[in-house]
C-alpha cells in the first residue's frame, strides 16, 4: 500500500477539532478492533477466539464490498462533499485504508503467532505443505488425483483467450507457464474449487492443510509438458452495491435479478495476495484488474478465513463456550405442558416479552406461526420477512397456512443485502403455495419485524401480533440477542393492521395510536422524547441501546440534552458518530459497546425514570442511523406492561454494570476496554436471570431449538 496521504488527510480515527462527529466508516471499522481484542483474550475458550477471528475476516470482506467500494466510486466521480468528521471522500478513503492495513497486520499476527501455536498445543494443527513428511504428501497426492484434478479448470491468457473473469471473493492461483519446445510463456489462472473442503484433513488426528497449498504443489499435473513458474495465491473483492433505478418499480423482482447478474461484473476493489509472492505477478494482476498499489493487501496466512469454520466446528467441548439451551418463556410453559393450551389463550390474558436467545424462539414466535397455520379459526397471517434461514420453520408455516386456504400476505424484502437470491427463492415458494407476496417497496427496504394473525373467536375477530428487533430466523435467534413483544391488545393490533395495509397497498402513511414507524416518524418521536428530558435538566434520564448511531438530528438532540445536564447512557454495539465527554457539548454522555458470545442486536430506548418522573420504554427494529430513519420501513412500539418493563430495566442494568465484555468510547474517538473489577458479564447475568425465572437452576433442562 502507498503511504502518501492526500492533501489535508487526517490521521487514524481522530476527527478534526472542528468536528462534533466521527466519520461513519471509521467508526464502523473500530468495531473490528474489538473483535480482535477478543481473539487476543486468553481467558476465552480457544475455539471461540477462532470464531471471532473468522467474524472479523467476514466483516472486513463486507466492508470492502460496500464501504470501500462506495468511497472509491465517490473519488472516481470527483465528489468532494464532506463526511461527518469533515473529511473529503479522498481523505476518508486514505484513513480507511490506513486502518485496514493496521488491522490486517494485527489479524495476521494473532493467527500465526497466537492462535496457531495455541491450537497446536491442543492437538489441532494447521500444517504447511513444506513441513509435511512423505506419507502425508503421498496421501494428499492421491487425494488430489481422485478429488481435485477432475474438478479444476486451468485458464490461460493469450490473444484468443482474454484475461479470465475473476468472481467475487473467489480464491485463485496465478502462474506463468512456459512451453518447453517454444520460446513462449503464458499467464494461467486456476480457480480453487469452492465445492471442495478448503482445509483438507490429514489422517490420524485433527491436522489440516489448506487446499490451495496442495494444488500449488501439484500444478505441473495441470500443465503437462510445460515449465511451471512461480505460483501466486490471490483473492479478489468486488463492489457489491446494487443500484435499482426508479424505472424498476414496474417489476422490482425482474430488475433485482438483472442487478444480481450485473453485480458479478462490478469493479474489483481489493486484491489479497500471499505475502511470499514476488512483485512480477502482483504487477500483472493489478494491471489486468484495474487496481493501484493501495488496493493490494498481502497476508501470510490463508486468504479469506472462512475456512477456519472447519476448525471451529470440531467436537471439542473443552475448547468451546459452555452450551446454552434457550428456555421456554414462563408464560408459555403451559402451552408445552397442557394438551389443550394455546399461544393465543396465553396472549388473551397478557402481553409476553421474549428475549432471545435466553428465551426460546421456537417455543414463542415459531409456535405462534405454527399454531396459526393449523388453527381452523385463523383467517389470515401477515408478516414482514427480511432475512430467514434455508430450513426456516417460519416459511414452512406460512406455506402450510396458504395451502389450507388462509389469507397469507408476506412482504419479502428481496433487496436485503447478500440475501437477495435466497429471498427470491422463498418468495416464489410462497407464491406457488397461494400466498400474496409483496417484493418490498421501491426506494425503501422494509426492515420492520412484524407479524399479524387474524383469528375468528365466536362472533368477533381478534388480532394477535408480534413486533420485534430481530429477523425471523431460527439460526440467528440462537446467536443474536434480540427482543420481541407478542400481544393481543386491540390498540396495537389495529395499528399493525393499518401498517400492513399501508405497506401492501397504495396509500399515505396512516396515523397510529402506539406504533411509531419510519421513514420520518421514529426520528421525530425520538427527538421529541430527548427534548422532553432536556427540559427536566439534571432530573432527566436517557438510556439507549442500539446497534448504531449516526443520525445527526438525533445526535444534536442528545447534545442539547447533555448541555441541559441530563445524564445519558448509550450502549452502541457498532457505529457511533456522537463524540462523548466533550466539555460544553456532551460531557454527561457515556458510550459503551458490549461484545460477547451473542451478538448484541436489540434496540431499547428509555426516557425518564428519575425524580418521580415515569419512565417511557420503546423497542423496535430501527437503529438510530440515517439509513434506518429515512430509507427503511421500520416499526417501534412502546412497552408498558409492568412485567415486560421489569425485563427491559433488568437488561439495561446488566448492560450498564458490565465490566467484562465492555468497551468505552473516549472523546478522541478511541475505544478502551473497561477494567474488570466486579466481574459483571452481561450475557452470563442474563443466562442466570433466565434460569431463575424458569426456576430451573437445579434441574436439568429440556433441549429446545
Residues marked as catalytic: 447
Q: What angle do CA 374, 375, 377 make, to 5 degrees?
A: 145
519 upstream amide cis, omega within 30 of 0 = yes
Please provide the DSSP assignment of 197-261 as one string. -SEEEETTTEEEEEHHHHHHHTGGGTSTTEEEEEEEEEEEEE-------GGGGGGHHHHHHHHHH
How many beta carbons lie within 10 A of that of residue 423, not counting itself? 21
Report the candidate in 602, 583, 596, 615 with the shortest Cα–Cα distance to residue 687: 596
Residue with cell 415458494: 429
Question: What Cα–Cα distance (Å) separates residue 338 from each residue in 13, 280, 347, 354, 693?
Answer: 57, 72, 16, 21, 20
Cα gap 153→141, rounded to integer Å? 18
Q: Name the grid cell of 372.
A: 396459526
Strands 436-438 and 407-412: parallel
C-alpha distances out from residue 369 to 393, 395, 447, 501, 700, Å: 9, 9, 19, 20, 28
Cα separation, 557 vs 534, in Å, equals: 9
What grid cell was written down for 552? 445527526
Of the candidates 235, 193, 298, which has an alpha carbon nearest to the alpha carbon of residue 61? 235
Grid coordinates belonging to 613:
418522573
Q: How far apart are CA 360 and CA 408, in angstroms?
A: 25
The DSSP code sequence of 543-598 is: EEEES-B--HHHHHHHHHHHHTT--EEEEESS-B-B--S-TTTTTTEEEEEE-SSS
Q: For residue 224, report the phi and psi dihedrals to the nearest 5 degrees.
A: -60, 140
Cβ–Cβ under 8 Å, residues 91 and 9: yes
Cell numbers describing residue 105: 497486520
User: d(Cα 75, Cα 92) in Å, to the nearest integer?
Assistant: 10
Taken as a whole, the chain contains a residue count of 705
Cα separation, 248 vs 259, in Å, equals: 10
Which of the 8 DSSP states describes residue 618?
Answer: E
The closest of 672, 349, 361 to 487, measured between CA atoms, is: 349
| Of 285, 254, 260, residue with least CA distance to 270 | 285
Neighbours of 502 (CB within 10 A): 17
Amino acid at each position: 500500500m502507498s503511504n502518501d496521504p492526500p492533501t489535508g488527510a487526517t490521521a487514524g480515527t481522530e476527527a478534526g477539532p472542528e468536528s462534533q462527529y466521527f466519520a461513519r466508516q471509521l467508526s464502523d471499522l473500530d468495531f473490528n478492533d474489538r473483535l480482535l481484542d477478543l481473539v487476543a483474550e486468553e481467558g476465552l475458550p480457544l475455539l471461540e477466539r477462532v470464531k471471532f477471528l473468522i467474524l472479523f475476516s467476514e466483516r472486513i470482506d463486507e466492508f470492502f464490498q460496500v464501504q470501500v467500494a462506495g468511497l472509491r466510486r465517490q473519488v472516481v466521480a470527483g465528489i468532494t462533499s464532506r463526511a461527518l468528521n469533515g473529511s473529503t471522500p479522498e481523505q476518508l478513503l486514505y484513513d480507511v485504508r490506513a486502518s485496514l492495513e493496521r488491522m490486517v497486520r494485527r489479524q495476521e499476527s494473532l493467527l500465526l503467532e497466537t492462535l496457531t501455536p495455541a491450537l497446536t498445543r491442543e492437538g489441532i494443527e494447521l500444517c504447511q505443505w513444506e513441513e509435511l513428511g512423505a506419507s502425508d504428501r503421498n496421501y494428499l497426492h492421491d487425494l488430489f488425483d481422485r478429488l481435485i484434478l477432475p474438478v479444476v479448470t486451468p485458464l490461460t491468457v493469450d490473444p484468443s483467450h482474454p484475461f479470465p473473469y475473476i468472481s467475487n471473493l473467489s480464491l485463485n492461483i496465478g502462474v506463468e507457464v512456459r512451453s518447453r519446445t517454444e520460446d513462449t510463456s503464458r499467464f494461467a489462472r486456476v480457480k480453487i474449487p469452492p465445492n471442495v473442503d478448503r482445509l483438507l484433513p490429514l489422517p490420524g488426528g485433527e491436522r489440516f492443510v489448506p487446499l490451495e497449498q496442495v494444488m500449488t504443489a501439484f500444478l505441473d499435473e495441470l500443465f503437462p509438458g510445460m515449465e511451471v513458474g512461480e505460483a501466486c495465491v490471490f483473492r479478489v473483492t468486488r463492489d457489491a452495491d446494487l443500484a435499482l433505478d426508479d424505472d424498476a418499480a414496474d417489476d422490482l423482482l425482474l430488475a433485482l435479478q438483472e442487478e444480481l447478474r450485473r453485480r458479478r461484473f462490478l469493479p474489483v476493489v481489493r486484491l489479497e495476495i500471499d505475502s511470499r509472492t514476488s512483485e512480477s505477478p502482483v504487477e500483472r494482476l493489478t494491471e489486468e484488474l484495474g487496481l493501484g498499489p493501495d488496493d493490494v493487501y498481502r497476508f501470510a496466512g490463508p486468504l479469506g478465513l472462512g475456512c477456519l469454520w472447519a476448525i471451529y466446528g470440531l467436537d471439542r467441548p473443552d475448547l468451546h463456550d459452555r452450551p446454552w439451551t434457550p428456555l421456554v418463556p414462563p408464560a408459555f410453559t403451559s402451552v408445552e405442558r397442557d394438551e389443550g393450551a394455546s399461544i393465543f389463550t396465553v396472549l388473551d390474558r397478557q402481553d409476553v416479552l421474549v428475549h432471545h436467545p435466553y428465551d426460546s424462539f421456537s417455543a414463542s414466535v415459531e409456535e405462534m406461526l405454527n399454531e396459526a397455520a393449523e388453527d381452523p379459526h385463523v383467517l389470515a397471517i401477515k408478516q414482514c420477512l427480511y432475512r430467514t434461514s434455508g430450513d426456516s420453520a417460519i416459511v414452512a408455516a406460512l406455506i402450510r397456512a396458504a395451502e389450507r386456504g388462509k389469507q397469507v400476505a408476506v412482504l419479502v424484502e428481496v433487496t436485503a443485502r447478500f440475501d437477495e437470491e435466497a429471498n427470491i427463492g422463498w418468495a416464489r415458494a410462497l407464491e406457488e403455495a397461494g400466498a400474496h407476496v409483496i417484493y418490498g417497496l421501491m426506494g425503501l427496504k422494509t426492515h420492520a419485524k412484524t407479524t399479524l394473525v387474524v383469528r375468528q373467536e365466536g362472533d368477533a375477530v381478534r388480532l394477535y401480533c408480534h413486533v420485534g428487533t430481530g429477523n425471523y430466523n431460527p439460526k440467528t435467534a440462537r446467536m443474536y440477542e434480540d427482543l420481541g413483544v407478542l400481544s393481543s391488545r386491540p390498540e396495537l393490533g389495529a395499528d399493525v393492521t393499518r401498517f400492513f395495509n399501508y405497506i401492501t397497498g397504495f396509500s399515505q402513511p396512516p396515523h397510529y395510536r402506539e406504533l411509531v414507524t419510519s421513514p420520518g416518524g421514529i426520528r421525530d418521536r425520538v427527538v421529541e422524547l430527548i427534548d422532553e428530558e432536556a427540559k427536566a435538566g439534571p432530573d432527566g434520564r436517557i438510556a439507549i441501546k442500539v446497534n448504531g448511531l449516526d443520525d445527526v438530528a438525533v445526535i444534536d438532540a442528545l447534545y442539547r440534552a447533555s448541555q441541559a445536564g441530563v445524564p445519558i447512557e448509550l450502549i452502541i454495539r457498532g457505529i457511533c458518530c456522537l463524540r462523548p465527554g466533550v466539555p460544553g457539548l456532551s460531557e454527561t454522555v457515556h458510550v459503551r459497546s458490549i461484545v460477547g458470545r451473542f451478538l448484541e442486536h436489540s434496540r431499547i430506548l428509555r426516557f425518564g425514570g428519575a425524580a418521580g418522573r415515569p419512565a417511557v420504554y420503546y423497542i423496535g427494529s430501527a437503529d438510530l442511523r440515517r439509513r434506518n430513519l429515512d430509507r427503511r420501513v421500520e416499526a417501534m412500539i412502546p412497552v408498558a406492561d409492568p412485567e415486560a418493563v421489569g425485563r427491559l430495566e433488568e437488561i439495561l442494568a446488566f448492560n450498564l454494570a458490565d465490566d467484562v465484555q465492555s468497551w468505552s468510547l473516549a472523546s478522541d474517538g478511541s475505544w478502551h476496554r473497561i477494567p474488570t473489577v466486579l466481574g459483571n458479564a452481561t450475557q452470563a447475568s442474563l443466562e442466570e436471570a433466565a434460569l431463575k425465572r424458569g426456576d430451573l437452576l437445579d434441574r436439568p433442562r429440556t433441549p429446545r431449538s
